[in-house]
Amino acid sequence: MKFLSLLAILLSVLLCPQLTWAKGQTVSLTIPTMDCATCPITIKAALMRVPGVSSAKVSYARREAVVVFDNEKASLDELKKATTDAGYPSFVKMKLD
């Protein structure tokens, strides 16, 4: 019985044409206007509000944010807009994936 349930799940996943897998990407953003130790809190909150962002690590010392996101739900422009709207313009340093 358990085998049939697993088989049914496997078949539904394989045969479902609209199913897509998330395309995770990691990007490093340079944020040169960070000027205090609390800036990363604001920037991280802004990035985490972007649909598709799964993590954001912001470093004041390096003035950068490393963001992991689903590129089918979010774009680099949306990430840059989020930081800019929070008062911290950013630039793509490098794509890590």
pLDDT (tens digit, 0 to 9) for every residue of the chain, 97 residues total?
A: 554 454 445 445 555 544 445 568 999 999 999 999 999 999 999 999 999 999 999 999 999 999 999 999 999 999 999 999 999 999 998 776 6
| pTM for the structure as a whole | 0.74
Domains (ranges, CATH) in the chain?
A: 21-95 (3.30.70.100)
Q: Please name the residues in contact with 36: beta carbons below 8 A apart, sequence gap of 6 or more.
A: 60
- Cα–Cα distances (Å) from 61 to 64, 89, 91, 95, in that order, read 8, 17, 16, 20
